[in-house]
Amino acid sequence: MRDEGDLLDRLSEISIRGILLHPVFLFLIATTVVVTTAIATWGQFRDDIVQVEDFRLEPRNIVVSSPPPAWTSDDEIKQLVLSRLDDTGASTLNADLVPGTAGLFQSVGWVESIRRIEKTRDQLEIDLVYRNPVGLVKIGGQRPWLPVDREGVIFDGNLVRASQPESSVVENFLLIYVFQPEVAGLSTWQQWPDSRIQGAARISEWLVPHWQRLGIKQIVSLHAPGEPAMNGDYELRPRNGDEGTVIVWGNAPGMEATGEATPAQKIAAINEYVTSNGPLENAPQRGLVVDVRSGSPVLAVKIRTAGQQEILRTFK
């Protein structure tokens, strides 16, 4: 009991004055005053302490690492960055510079992805992946061809037309044909809501370096909207369509059936056939087909059954 009494006596001796004069409390007060004063002083005299001009962003110290596509330029990309920054924000001292610039390019349709955005003391470095059109989709009537990228995202046709003469636009791209394509709700920089066009766009990406040399001009989807994809869903045709040799490509990349060749193997098979037999436009007979789904060029002809269904018959 006596120990408890001694403890109460000691507690009663602690006064407010004792707390205020305690070394720990005095240290906390002093630290708070110093930090507050430093912040206020920095805000008032920052421009005198730091040469802010050394950190100001201008076109000359914005570095675009990835070469821009034909419809834009380094200067336009740099001005796009600067246009979203006010006079105080156009500086590497701006804490929002990197996330803000990333947010800007995420909203730009022709930017597919951002590899890297990094700031140094006096530079902003930007590395982007650009969307590129890989084919033109025909939607019927007098409506124009619509360009799509490798993911089937609808490209701004004005950008494509502005980067080359109008007469050469159709000449410079693969043409994608599907039966009754889905056209409701189409919007620039959005993926085309038709899986057949998405698949054709993936094929087109693979063919971009090769189609002109191999004589391919058209990618044709064989099934109607809403029908399940078939093994042999896509055909490749020359400029003269089925008047020339038709290539049975098969399924879209990433959707191959068991045992079906890869896109690279199919392209090698087409190249083997063209090297041995000449351009696809010069078919020895109408209806000649080369099936490359196995990874080798297999000659076949289309036979129409009594039910009007076309089937392939290979040459033995």
| pTM of the model as a whole | 0.75
Kindly report, residue by residue over 33-56, the tens digit of the pLDDT: 655 765 665 555 555 545 555 567
Residue 5 has pLDDT above 60, yes or no: no
Kindly report, residue by residue over 157-202, the tens digit of the pLDDT: 888 777 666 557 788 899 999 988 888 888 999 999 998 999 999 9
Mean pLDDT of 249-254: 93
Report pLDDT for 154.
95
Mean pLDDT of 267-276: 95
174 near 136, Cβ under 8 Å? yes
Report pLDDT for 116.
92
Kindly report, residue by residue over 104-115, the tens digit of the pLDDT: 888 889 999 999
